[in-house]
């Protein structure tokens, strides 16, 4: 064992806390530095994956890449045993080994003479195992066994730490995703809609390109809830969200504001007809009867359209203008759209 190099490796692993090195980077470095610290010719690692299956993770050369993979193929080997039992597996002479009748002959055929496996575990939680190999048979000195286990233990701590941080990041991203999306339809909610509106209005003010907000409100949705119950109503809203996704253009923002109110934000419009075309597709999509269980439901929607792009619009006022136009459409009998800027209804 090279005590000086072992100390260097321990310091290097400690720096991964600052560098936030990914798990693969930790394992690649582990097999590389194991050869520097312990008198062996190669090293490899098997690690338990997220699906609780063992996966080959890293090796110091192409030969060991194949040998490590053989353990998974055969379902046996020192690394798998060290992982499953949490105990070291020391085989100083592969020619004499009878514990692994398939793996050991294959390892010998690959030119290996000895293998020593060390569990990678944290507080009893098995994460995988480290293998170190020699081309020639021969035991490891006790201090080399100790050094190898130290390397495995240190790697375990940092693998565990990296997984915890990855889990925290996923949880944070999931929480943020949930906070910005409607739980029923999966569409952006009011918070994300407002953020998107701010971006679109700012862009329209800079470029002068037209943008539009379409405020969509289902006609007679209260009757659906009253006659068929709120569960059926929720299924209708979910289905409406799916239909509207297919009615909008690529790049448009579709959000559920509240209840049966949906908003579509269209940007980079060459002319107003493009937004009105979206409104007509919305009407067509919702005009088809909807089968909810054994109930056939007829739908329609009132749509209000407001345009941005003159440099004076604010997100909230733009949404209010579209909302006002929608009420005009609903007051006129629904099932059509009204453009706020020109105060003209079209069917």
* pLDDT per residue as tens digits for the range 37-82: 888 999 988 887 654 455 667 788 888 888 888 888 898 999 999 9
Distance CA 323, CA 79 (A): 65
Confidence of residue 15 (pLDDT cuts 50, 70, 90): low
- pLDDT value for 136: 94
Nearest Cα to 70, choosing from 40, 105, 31, 120? 105
Predicted pLDDT of residue 345:
37
What is the arithmetic mean of pLDDT over 121-128? Answer: 85
Nearest alpha-carbon partner for 285 in 257, 254, 259: 254
Give the HSE-up count for residue 246: Cα atoms under 13 Å, Cβ half-sphere.
8
Q: How far apart are CA 218 and CA 259, in angstroms?
A: 9
Model pLDDT, residue 16:
55
| CATH topology match: 3-177 vs 190-346 | no
Q: What is the pLDDT of residue 347?
A: 36
Q: Report the pLDDT value the prediction gives residue 175, as an integer from 0 to 100.
A: 61
pLDDT, position 98: 94
Return the ∠ at Cα 245 (arms to 240 and 249), rounded to 5°.
Answer: 140
Helix 315-331 / helix 190-207 crossing angle, nearest 10 deg = 110
**What digits encode the pLDDT tens for the residues 83-99?**
999 999 999 999 999 99
What does the alpha-carbon distance between residue 63 and residue 69 come to, in Å, rounded to a whole number?
10
Q: Which of 22-26, 191-195, 335-339 has the highest mean pLDDT?
A: 335-339
**Long-range contacts made by residues 270-277, C-beta under 8 angstroms, separation at least 24?**
270/210, 271/210, 272/210, 272/212, 272/307, 272/339, 274/249, 275/212, 275/214, 275/305, 275/307, 276/305, 276/337, 276/339, 276/346
Task: Grade residue 162 by pLDDT with cuts at 50, 70 and 90.
Answer: low
User: pLDDT confidence of 240, banded at 50, 70, 90?
Assistant: very high
pTM over 0.85: no
Residue spans per domain, the chain? 3-177, 190-346
Q: Are 159 and 47 in contact (CB under 8 A)?
A: yes
**47 alpha carbon, distance to own chain's centre:** 21
Question: Is 190-346 CATH 3.30.70.270?
Answer: yes
Query: Cα–Cα distance between 279 and 326 in angstroms, integer?
Result: 11
Superfamily of domain 3-177: GAF domain (3.30.450.40)
Q: 57 with 27: CB under 8 angstroms?
A: yes
The predicted pLDDT at position 52 comes to: 46
Res 243 pLDDT > 60: yes
Q: Are 217 and 330 in contact (CB under 8 A)?
A: yes
pLDDT in tens, 287-326: 889 998 888 989 999 999 998 865 556 778 888 999 999 9
Q: Where are any strands of DSSP class E within the chain? A: 42-48, 54-59, 89-91, 114-122, 125-134, 210-218, 253-258, 261-269, 290-292, 295-297, 301-308, 337-339, 344-346
Q: What percentage of residues in the chain have a pLDDT greater than 70?
A: 82
pLDDT band of residue 164 (cuts 50, 70, 90) is low
**Which residue(s) pair with 175 in the sheet?**
none
Q: What is the pLDDT of residue 265?
A: 93
């Amino acid at each position: 064992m090279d005590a000086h190099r072992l100390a260097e490796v321990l310091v290097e692993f400690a720096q991964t806390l600052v560098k936030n090195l990914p798990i693969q980077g930790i394992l690649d470095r582990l097999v590389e530095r194991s050869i520097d610290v312990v008198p062996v010719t190669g090293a490899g690692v098997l690690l338990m994956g997220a699906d609780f299956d063992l996966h080959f993770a890293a090796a110091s050369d192409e030969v060991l890449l194949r040998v490590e993979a053989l353990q998974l193929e055969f379902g046996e080997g020192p690394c798998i045993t060290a992982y499953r039992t949490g105990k070291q597996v020391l085989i100083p002479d592969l020619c004499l080994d009878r514990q692994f009748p398939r793996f050991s002959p294959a390892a010998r055929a690959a030119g290996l003479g000895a293998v020593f496996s060390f569990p990678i575990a944290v507080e009893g939680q098995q994460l995988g195992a480290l293998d170190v190999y020699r081309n020639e048979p021969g035991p490891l000195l006790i201090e080399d066994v100790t050094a190898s286990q130290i390397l495995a233990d240190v790697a375990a701590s940092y693998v565990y730490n990296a997984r915890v941080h990855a889990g925290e990041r996923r949880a944070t991203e999931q929480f943020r995703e949930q906070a910005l999306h409607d739980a029923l339809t999966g569409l952006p909610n009011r918070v994300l809609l407002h953020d998107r509106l701010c971006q679109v209005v700012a862009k329209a003010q800079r470029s002068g390109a037209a943008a539009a907000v379409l405020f969509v409100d289902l006609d007679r949705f209260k009757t659906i809830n009253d006659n068929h119950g709120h569960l059926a109503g929720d299924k209708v809203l979910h289905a409406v969200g799916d239909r509207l996704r297919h009615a909008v253009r690529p790049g448009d923002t579709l959000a559920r504001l509240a209840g049966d109110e949906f908003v579509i934000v269209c940007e980079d419009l060459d002319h107003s007809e493009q937004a009105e075309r979206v409104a007509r597709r919305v009407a067509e999509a919702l005009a088809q009867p909807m089968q909810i269980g054994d109930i056939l439901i007829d739908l329609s929607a009132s749509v209000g359209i407001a345009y941005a792009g003159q440099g004076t619009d604010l997100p909230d006022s733009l949404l209010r203008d579209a909302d006002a136009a929608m009420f005009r459409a609903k007051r006129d009998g629904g099932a059509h759209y009204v453009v706020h800027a020109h105060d003209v209804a079209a069917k």
